Amino acid sequence: GARRLHTVIERVIEDISFEASEKSGEKINVTKELVKERLKDVVEDQDLARYIL
């Protein structure tokens, strides 16, 4: 549940979080394409049913 969701979100925004101080005040759109790109390794290697809430 919550731990898996946290892991997914953490993976999606990892780079964004790292650069956050440099992008103060900017809006960042998390698109479907961004999520797919960041989770492609997870999608290829694991059963997605584990991430369905």
pLDDT given for residue 21 in this prediction? 85
Residue 51 pLDDT > 70: no
Tell me the two tokens of residue 38: 């960041």
> Nearest CA to 5 among 33, 42, 45?
42
Angle (CA) 51 45 10, round 5°: 50
Which tens digits make up the pLDDT trace of 10-48? 989 898 888 888 888 889 899 999 998 998 887 665 666
Domain range summary for the chain, segments of one domain joined by +: 2-51
User: What's the pLDDT at 31?
Assistant: 93
Does the pTM exceed 0.85? no
Structure token digits, residue 9: 């979100």
